[in-house]
Structure 1
Amino acid sequence: MKYLLETPVRGKIGGKKFETAIQWRNGVLITDEPEILGGKDKGPDPYTLLLSSLVSCTLATLRMYIDLKGLDIPEIEVEANMHQGIENHRTVLKIVRRIVIRQEADLELQERLVRVAENCPVSRILKGDIKIATEMN
């Protein structure tokens, strides 16, 4: 099996409640929980990291498309949030993503950008059938 990442993401937690050090190929990212949950809010929490992945992937995908098509859109903003609800007696998590461009854009261009965003790799992962295999050494 070929992994998407050459080097796995690794994390460690010590005695500081909820503060973790996440190692990625070129550095360390500190994550934490908000103070209201007992953390010190020194870094993003897991939900923020998940949404950050979607936002950054969406932005990169849109930038590639805009550059490829030679569109005059110098800046794009994407925001995302999520909430839980009940549908058909099941708990459902819904992520809401909003794309903002400051230039005038006709409806056709807006629809194309939404389709491009919907097909960013992280969007496809989140909408797909995810299986998590947990191993212990």
Structure 2
Amino acid sequence: MKYILETPIKGILGAQKYKTIIHWRNGILISDEPEKLGGRDLGPDPYTLLLSSLVACTLATLKMYIDQKQMDISEIEIEANIYYKIESGETVAYIDRSVRIGSPIDPETNQKLLLVAENCPISRTLKGNINISTSVIK
């Protein structure tokens, strides 16, 4: 098996309720829950981190395509949010993502950019089958 990341993401939860220190290849970031859930809101919560991955990947993928096609698009803005619905007795997650292009584009280009956004690697991962294997290390 070949991992995507050279170094795994490592999170450490200490004495402060919900404050998590996440180590990544170039440093650390803090994740925390909002105050209304008992945290101190010192960093993004897990849902914010998940949606941030989708937004960042979508933007990078669109930028690569725009650069490759030498399009004159100066700015792209993406918003994303998540909600749950009960369908046939099961909880189903829905993510709404909107893309705003800062330059006027024709309908054909608009459709192509939407298709590129839908196919960014994180979109494909979230839409595909995900298997999570968890083990306890002593």
* Shorter-chain TM-score range: over 0.9
Q: What displacement does 1:51 show?
A: 0.2
With normalisation by structure 1, the TM-score equals 0.97
Q: Which amino acid aligns with 1:84?
A: Y
Identity of aligned residues (%): 60
What does the per-residue CA deviation read over 1:47-77, in whole Å, with 9 as the maximum and x for residues that have no partner? 0000000000000000000000000001111
Whether 1:77 and 2:77 are equivalent positions in the alignment is yes
Whether 1:90 and 2:87 are equivalent positions in the alignment is no
Other-structure match for 1:128: 128
Other-structure match for 2:32: 32
Other-structure match for 1:51: 51
With normalisation by structure 2, the TM-score equals 0.97
Q: Which amino acid aligns with 2:52?
A: S
Whether 1:108 and 2:108 are equivalent positions in the alignment is yes
Q: What displacement does 1:88 show?
A: 3.0
Q: Work out the number of aligned pairs and report it.
A: 137
Alpha-carbon contact 2:74-2:102 (below 8 Å) kept: no
State the SS of the aligned residue for 2:114. Answer: helix
Other-structure match for 2:3: 3
Q: Which runs of 5+ in 1 are unaligned?
A: none
Q: Which amino acid aligns with 2:133?
A: A
Report the RMSD for the aligned CA atoms in angstroms. 0.8
Q: Which runs of 5+ in 2 are unaligned?
A: none
